[in-house]
Amino acid sequence: MLQHIKITGILAAAITVASSSALAGTIDFETPPLGALTHQADYNATSGFSSGGAFFNNSYTSFGGGFFSWSGFSLSRETDTTTAGFTNQFSAASGSGSGGSSQYAVGFGDASSTVPKITFAPGERPVSLQIVNTTYAALSMRDGDAFAKKFGGVSGNDPDFFKLTINGLDGADQPTGSLDFYLADFRFANNAQDYIVTAWTPVDLNTIGASTQALTFGFTSSDNGGSGINTPAYFAVDNINTVPEPSSALLLATGLLAFARRRR
């Protein structure tokens, strides 16, 4: 009986270690530090950047004269919640990172651009993250601009929406599941329920699949034109929580159990 108690204690320790790892696995984007920069969109030399053990893709092209294009992910600490338009594409509508933190990531990808993709460290899978609109997208939907309509239209009754689809992929880039998150939704019969997400909002990723090793992000809008959606295809992300894959946790428990048996 005493030996059974010891082995049970070892298994409990394995679960505790796995749980501690899960708690520690938060990607908060405070590294790499931006230093004097307020954002960085050019990771062309490395095709992206790493933070918290995960890799965030990036594609950047300079046209000279201060003109450039980018897609995938950029790192930001901008705080402008009032300036409308493309020149303010790197600010979260919340005015800071989640919980008032400094840095966060901005994702962008229209029909002709690189799809934003996060690749996690081997043996880790995402279980949640926090999302908010960028100021550029939020003000475009609230007020309309030269390229996109005001959500709800003149009457406020247009059933507009802006949807982010989060797709899971396993280590072989095969789908593990997907979920939709509405960055804005004006489809309610009661216009008072219409909303644009301007505060960091948690999203549970557990329904996507336990074998998820990467996430990609796609956009759908009710406002479309000949080149795709008119709504600015941006979102901001922070505080991505990860846990060991079930196989990793099992290996840890099995190893500790084997150690306990050798010690018998």
Q: Going from the first residue of the chain to its last (264 residues), give the mean pLDDT of each consecutive group of 10, the final group possibly shorter.
A: 41 44 74 97 96 97 91 98 97 98 96 92 96 98 97 98 98 97 98 98 96 98 95 98 74 47 50
Q: Could you tell me which residues are beta bridge partners of residue 130?
A: 202, 238
> For residue 66, what pLDDT is reported?
84
Q: Which residues of 251-262 are buried (b: 16+ CB within 10 A; e: fewer)?
A: ebbeebeeebee
C-alpha to C-alpha distances, 219 to 7, 99, 111, 240, 254, nearest whole angstrom: 50, 26, 9, 20, 42
> For residue 194, what pLDDT is reported?
98
> For residue 18, what pLDDT is reported?
42
> For residue 111, what pLDDT is reported?
79
> For residue 29, what pLDDT is reported?
98
> For residue 247, what pLDDT is reported?
57
Angle of CA points 49, 84, 147, to nearest 5°: 95
Domains of the chain: 26-244 (2.60.120.1350)
The burial class, CB within 10 Å (0-12 / 13-18 / 19+), for 155 is exposed
> For residue 256, what pLDDT is reported?
45
CA–CA separation, 164 and 20 (whole Å) = 31
> For residue 24, what pLDDT is reported?
44
Tokens linked to 209 = 């699949």
> For residue 79, what pLDDT is reported?
98
C-alpha to C-alpha distances, 215 to 4, 28, 94, 202, nearest whole angstrom: 41, 17, 23, 16
SS3 56: strand
